[in-house]
Amino acid sequence: MVVDALVIGSGFGGLGAALTLAEGGARVVLCESLRYPGGCASTFTRGPWRFEAGATLFSGFDPGQLFDRWISTHRMEVETRVVDPAIELRTQGLTLKLPPDRARLVAQFEALPGAPSDRLRAFFDHQRRVADALWALFDDPSLLPPFDAATLLRHVARAPKYLPVLPWITRSLGAVLDHHGLAHFEPLRVYLDALCQITVQVSADEAEAPFALSAMDYLSRGTRHVHGGIGALAVAMARAVEQLGGDVRMSDAVRSLSRDGDVWVADTRRGTVRAKTVVANVLPQRLAAMLGRDPADVASLARKVEDGWGAVMLYLGVHRDAKLRPEAHHLELVREVGRPFIEGNHAFASISGLDETRGPDGARTVTVSTHVPMKKLLAMDDAAQGRYVAAVQRALDDTLRARAPELSDAIVHRMTASPRTFERFTGRTAGYVGGVPRRVGLANYQGLWPSPVEPGLYLVGDSVFPGQSTLATAVGGHRVATHALAQAGAALRTVA
Ligand SMILES: Cc1cc2nc3c(=O)[nH]c(=O)nc-3n(C[C@H](O)[C@H](O)[C@H](O)COP(=O)(O)OP(=O)(O)OC[C@H]3O[C@@H](n4cnc5c(N)ncnc54)[C@H](O)[C@@H]3O)c2cc1C
């Protein structure tokens, strides 16, 4: 049998694509190599412990946003909670409780000693106008390319909203700070460097301004904690695909992909799938390996990924009586503000809620991550890589002890992970995570169109537009699937 679509991988890009294809009436097979869905945004079990694999804080849950729409349309049993403060940022001599609300955030900066109130207000007003223009594309993915005449008209009507964005294309967030006379207001700089590192994946001085100004809304755009773990949403999305008639196959890795006339043929761990369309939720490097060749477009996407990051992780169990806030919460910890926010000098720690069952005897789990530059890591031989990763893990421990002793003192269980662990579990070549860093340059604006890499073969996930995050990858998967459905013609769209 030839199915309409094969989706390879159930990260949020693959899940978004599979669900949209199934909603559109396509016969879908979703193959995932692991026993559970979600990839970098999954919840995994080790003995009595349940950990978030990577991602821990998610946007897109406000009424009408993509995750909210899917949860209500498919009656998913997924409980989400607003986290307030969304993140507590701690550095030398500075603690900022970052609220999920821009007005309160601005008020907090204005209340700091020596704060330049007028300049801060002008900067955040500028930020709001850029973010409002660009987040609309996430909230309503039908505004994303490809455009039909109706969408083009909607964009023409929206043109004034895009005006604040245009002058800042190919300029950095650091340049925006200079423009507003805020380059030397240290608390804002530290906040922006920390936020940019976890969103656009570079410091404020390197970050492309429109992306970074939009990413500053990450904490206030339907941002939630998923009770019990993000895996609950991934599982619910996979079930929704099945309820629409899709065939979801866990533990069924795709080994190779070839073309037989008009049909794609996938050799999987459990057999063969023949499909008219393939949506590959893998890194470009992995797709090239599956094809056994390196199409030019795939090779150029791969080079962009190689400019990026790996993650070094600590998965911790902490005692239920630890002196921590009872609800799930997030700490962003910086040991020394004068050093780059990577390699354990910066740690993002997410602590599960006391009322979630995540460990034995009511223990809580903590996922801690830090960035490591992959070019530096891969230039080392195996032994040197091992020593480097161990040093980064020690630096993470030091940062936890210095900035979150209440957490560090309560550790009862400890596991570590490196880029190699990500490669082994999620199939991400060499352990590259976090997609393509949004460094200043026009390259950010290439590949906005969901064009196939070859006829009927699409890439989704954080290495392609719109990029990193669970919401972005889900939006990207949804957009590619919408395009593939349109290409496949009305015959597929038997379900409205
Ligand atoms: C440490 C860390 C922290 C993060 N924190 C956040 C956060 O707080 N909030 C946020 O929104 N985002 C966060 N992110 C980013 C976010 O997790 C990712 O951008 C997003 O989840 C990536 O999704 P993806 O669709 O690219 O697929 P991936 O997550 O890479 O999933 C790909 C899937 O494909 C499967 N697969 C691979 N090869 C095959 C094969 N051959 N056959 C079948 N299946 C295959 C894998 O097993 C995997 O399940 C974080 C990322 C990391 C690493």
**Which residues make up the CATH 3.30.519 domain(s) of the chain?**
309-431
443 contacts 459 by C-beta, under 8 angstroms? no
The number of CA neighbours under 13 Å toward the Cβ of 102 is: 20
Distance 108 CA to ligand 1 centre (A): 33
Residue bearing the CA closest to ligand 1, atom 2: 54
Name the 3-class secondary structure at 82: strand
For residues 287 and 387, the answer to whether their CB atoms sit within 8 Å is no
Task: Look at residues 495, 494, 481 and name the one whose alpha carbon lies nearest to residue 144.
Answer: 481
11 CA distance to ligand 1 middle (Å): 5
Strands (DSSP E) found in 229-338: 247-249, 254-260, 263-268, 271-280, 309-318, 329-334
Domain with CATH 3.50.50.60 in the chain: 2-43+230-305+434-492
Evaluate the omega torsion of the peptide bond into residue 141 and state whether it is cis, within 30 degrees of 0. no
The CATH number for 309-431, chosen from 3.30.519, 3.90.550, 3.30.780, 2.30.30, is: 3.30.519
Q: What is the pLDDT of residue 487?
A: 86
Q: Contact at 8 Å (CB) between 58 and 42?
A: no
Q: Dihedral (C-alpha) 136, 140, 146, 148: value to the nearest 10 degrees?
A: -100
Instruction: Report pLDDT for 494.
Output: 40
Rounded CA-CA distance 385/373 in Å is: 12
Ligand 1 atom with least separation from CA of 425: 47
Q: Closest Cα to atom 7, ligand 1: which residue?
A: 55
Looking from the CA of residue 473, the nearest atom of ligand 1 is: 25
Which of 19, 34, 40, 269 has most ligand 1 atoms within 8 Å of CB, for mutation?
A: 40
CA distance 465 to 321: 43
CA 392 to CA 118: how far, in whole Å?
40
* Euclidean distance between CA atoms 231 and 237, whole angstroms: 10
Residue type, 68: D
Structure token digits, residue 43: 């919840």
Instruction: Report how far residue 318's alpha carbon sits from residue 315's, in angstroms, rounded to the nearest whole number.
Output: 10
| Beta carbons of 11 and 428 less than 8 angstroms apart | no
Nearest to residue 458, comparing CAs of 492, 487, 427? 487
Separation of CA 12 and ligand 1 centre (Å) = 7
Report residues whose beta carbon is within 6 angstroms of any ligand 1 atom: 8-14, 31-34, 39-41, 54-58, 253-254, 281-282, 286, 311, 369, 426-428, 433-435, 461-462, 468-471, 473
Q: What averages of pLDDT result for each successive group of 10 residues across the chain (496 residues)? A: 97 98 97 98 98 98 96 98 97 95 96 96 97 91 82 88 92 97 96 96 96 96 97 98 98 98 97 98 97 92 95 98 97 97 98 96 97 98 98 98 98 98 98 95 82 93 94 96 84 42
CA 406 to ligand 1 centroid distance, Å: 30
Contact (CB, 8 A) for 274 and 247? no
Architecture of domain 2-43+230-305+434-492: 3-Layer(bba) Sandwich (3.50)
